[in-house]
Structure 1
Amino acid sequence: MSDIAVPDGVRIFDTTLRDGEQAPGISLDVGEKLEIAEQLARLGVDIVEAGFPVASQGDYEAVKAIAETVGTASGAPVIAALARCNTEDVERAAKALKAAHRSRLHVFVSTSEIHRRVMLRASEDQVVDQAVDAVKRALTSTGDVEFSPQDATRTDPEFLLRIVDAAVEAGATTINIPDTVGYALPHDFGELIGDIVRRVGDGAVVSVHCHNDLGLAVANSLEAIRAGARQVEVAVNGLGERAGNCSMEEVVMALATRSDLLGMPTGVRTAEIARTSRLVSTLTGYPIQFNKAVVGKNAFAHESGIHQHGVIQDRLTYEIMRAEDVGVAGSQIVLGKHS
């Protein structure tokens, strides 16, 4: 274990191409994934999780293509690939990432009692051994290894700290805490992340990956940042399993708009947000809901006469961010029943 430089701001880890594509009905080909990865690089995310290479030949080819193109460009983001804590997964992911200038292996194993009993049929000791072995194996291919204890928020806290300690001692450089089933509430999640940040210290960067089953993915991610997390995992338009992931555009603009309170900058070029959102919507076939925060059709639209009067005089009366800052042409005055 060595001291890790914790960033002054927040790293944005985009998982649109991995967890986002796991949303029911989405199936992207290699060319479509490459197009999205190129746009994510223009957007300025820090890490692009390109896929899960062992899942299929198509996923392997997509990760390899992204590593060879986006991953070799000047100023390229880190290209990451997911792997379970076993030899085949780790070696397959490492092979797919080989060409990238900066690569990350993201290894995970389930840690909650129900996952260990139903899915793994493994004891706590066995799961810890799997995690340690996978981290060490991954480190033979790259110096950047992320470890995730799946279903962390339903894992016994003492065991969670034990496996985090073991992963850091084995050399993991990022410890990612997934709220896999969207179970956490902001206050409790913040306390959990604070405990982990204090436990890890300078041994690794602490990250979070929040699902939106209770509509709290962004709130939980922001609370985690307040508690010391310095990486947040997101997906464009909040895509992902079931109710989706933490929305990239929402968490980035929350950090930008409330910098007075949060004081955690990102490297995202926010003027690229709307373009990125539209591209992902078009290629995935998932429409953007009209009232979606930041990127929805109505996000900067005003129909009520009182609101229209205020915005015409000074947009700050009813808008907390500029449409142009996210790549939208401007506010809209919509004539309707309430105008």
Structure 2
Amino acid sequence: MSTTFQPPKSFAAPHVCGLSQPVATPSGMNYERYQPFHPMSLPDRTWPDQRITKAPRWLSTDLRDGNQALIDPMTPARKRKMFDLLVKMGYKEIEIGFPSASQTEWDFVRSLIEDPEAIPDDVVISVLTQAREDLIDRTVQSLVGAKRATVHMYNATAELFRRVVFHTTQQGTIDLAQQGTRWVIDAIEKYLPDTPVGYEYSPEIFTQTPTDYAIEVCDRVMDVWQPDDEREIILNLPATVEMSTPNTYADQIEYFSRNISHRDNVCISMHCHNDRGCAVAASELGQMAGAQRVEGCLFGHGERTGNVDLVTLGMNLFSQGIDPMIDFSDMDTIRRTVEYCTGMPVPARSPYAGDLVYTAFSGSHQDAIKKGLEDLETRARAEGTSIHKIRWEAPYLPVDPQDVGRTYEAVIRVNSQSGKGGMAYLMKADHHLELPRRLQMEFSGVVQARADDSGHEVTSPVLWDIFDSEYLRRDTPFKLGEFTVGAAHGQTQITADLDVRGKQTTVTGEGNGPLSAFIDALGQVGAHVRVLDYTEHALTSGGDAYAAAYVECEVGEGDNTQVLWGVGIDPDITTATLKAALSALDRA
């Protein structure tokens, strides 16, 4: 029967010193020269009630936006390696370059098209161009021989760019977008009359463009392209510079999706940069708001702070039970390949892929993970299956590291912040020792003291060295020699040879078992020991199996009493038990 706490009628104030709210200090920075982003009003927004239930269309721009932002752009060989990786992972739309920008870019596009094994039939390559006739002509010409392709044209629509960069009007921007689209059509008819070619248009700096004006520009572009059921258009709405919170971007996407013409023949695409660190959130909310396609780079490469990270987006879907339609099962190979191709390391904390993302140092985290993995094993045994086939639920681990090619070996690592849970997990996983709970607590203190002294991580081999020196290699003042176990007076009798501070002696004792008899015998050499707890288990199986024994002892008398654990390991369980008792005594 549950009860509800009833406070006394008179509740005395606690005798503690209250803490008032801290007062922030002005930064002194010149913040007043910046102005807040003014979001559009969309009070009837519906996207917050939507859910992402399937993967979007993905486009990788690693070979274009990602490559152009590298200090040292990829060589043709590295670009090919990146392309092959993207194909292997399952990307079906890949932006392979800016062929009018340089001969190197042109040559790479041609190398892929001219290699009959390079581009699978179900992969669509994309190339980017500005809205200039000569550049468009050169771009489309680079696609001759392609099985299928997308031409992606853009021009800036934001007021700042019209005024400062291009010195044009709103109508001038519309005219350029329409004329550029005509040039694209003319070039396709000239160079690719029998090739399936798609068209993508980007009102660059979309997020800083009034949404109604962006819609007008795109509608006028579609007046030229004339999309229908057999002639899709991709309208890409880039957060070329991230200027607002993700919910504001989602409002812009939903409003655009509601009001654009030819909606059934339009694929709304997003290209989010990460200037405010919110590209992943913006891309996810944008999908909820109606976008169908996402452009980005593996691990967020791209101009300035990068494009949205396609790995994070895809794995976010995976972690929610949604197939990302991209294969991330060998994450370390993906990461190594991208690092090789770009010359840039993937940060240790990069979601799902960094060295430390499945690693816990905190003691409470380690303990929870340890218990979670044990629970998974228990559930799997109960269901008669493996861990990999049951529903994943584990504290602090949103996905099973093994699903992306990792192991559990690096999940728990020990430093001065770690607790007994992490240490116990490593001792069991790597060294097969199932330490009793109170021994875990005692050994944790030993490990933390060593970690504090060194200031470094305690790796699994170092952890074993600490355990070995603390519990197993102690042989002074007592060292066990030969012993025999028999029966006398209805009890177990033991006779043991001991080395006591360098002197050989033989002791005899009786008890209700070998350990009890041995403790009795130790009294003959002045040792005062009382057993508080005892446990044992096999370390290995088979004829040469080893056993581990753990003995908790009260050692000493009166004010000098200590409670200490001892550990023994031996092929013979009785020997292991006696060694454990002496281990505790030697540690006193």
Pairs within 5 Å for 1:297-316: 297-315=355-373, 316=394
Pairs within 5 Å for 1:126-145: 126-139=172-185, 140=188, 141=192, 142-145=196-199
Pairs within 5 Å for 1:109-258: 109-139=155-185, 140=188, 141=192, 142-171=196-225, 173-200=233-260, 201-258=263-320
Call closer, same or farther: CA 1:72–1:32 in 2, change over 3 Å: closer
Call closer, same or farther: CA 1:69–1:312 in 2, change over 3 Å: farther
Matching residue within 400, 421, 427 for 1:322: 400
The alpha-carbon deviation at position 269 of structure 1 amounts to 1.3
Alignment partners' CA distance in 1, 2:146 and 2:370: 49
Secondary structure, aligned partner of 1:183: coil
The aligned residue for residue 35 of structure 1 is: 81
Give unmatched runs, 5+ long, in structure 2: 1-53, 226-231, 374-393, 419-588
Q: 1:338 and 2:384 equivalent? A: no
Higher relative contact order (CA 8 A, sep 6+): 1
Percent pairwise identity: 27
Alignment partners' CA distance in 1, 2:61 and 2:331: 15
The alpha-carbon deviation at position 73 of structure 1 amounts to 3.8
Matching residue within 88, 91, 104 for 2:134: 88
Alignment partners' CA distance in 2, 1:205 and 1:78: 15
Matching residue within 258, 261, 266 for 2:324: 266
Q: Is the 8 A contact 1:43 1:270 kept in 2?
A: yes
Amino acid at match of 1:177: L
Q: Is the 8 A contact 1:236 1:247 kept in 2?
A: yes
Q: Is the 8 A contact 1:34 1:65 kept in 2?
A: no
Larger radius of gyration: 2
The aligned residue for residue 143 of structure 2 is: 97
Alignment partners' CA distance in 2, 1:205 and 1:71: 29
Alignment partners' CA distance in 2, 1:197 and 1:256: 26
Secondary structure, aligned partner of 2:88: helix
The alpha-carbon deviation at position 319 of structure 1 amounts to 0.6
Q: Which moved more, 1:70-79 or 1:197-206?
A: 70-79
Amino acid at match of 1:184: S
Q: 1:275 and 2:329 equivalent? A: no
Alignment partners' CA distance in 2, 1:278 and 1:72: 21
Q: Is the 8 A contact 2:211 2:256 kept in 1?
A: no
Call closer, same or farther: CA 1:165–1:131 in 2, change over 3 Å: same
Give unmatched runs, 5+ long, in structure 1: 1-7
Alignment partners' CA distance in 1, 2:356 and 2:275: 23
* Cα root mean square deviation, aligned: 2.1
Amino acid at match of 1:324: Q
What's the TM-score once normalised by structure 1's chain length? 0.91
Secondary structure, aligned partner of 1:148: strand
Amino acid at match of 2:346: I
The aligned residue for residue 585 of structure 2 is: none
The alpha-carbon deviation at position 72 of structure 1 amounts to 5.4
What's the TM-score once normalised by structure 2's chain length? 0.53
The alpha-carbon deviation at position 273 of structure 1 amounts to 4.2
Call closer, same or farther: CA 1:19–1:334 in 2, change over 3 Å: same
Call closer, same or farther: CA 1:85–1:128 in 2, change over 3 Å: same
Higher helix share: 1
Q: Is the 8 A contact 1:78 1:102 kept in 2?
A: yes
Amino acid at match of 1:321: V
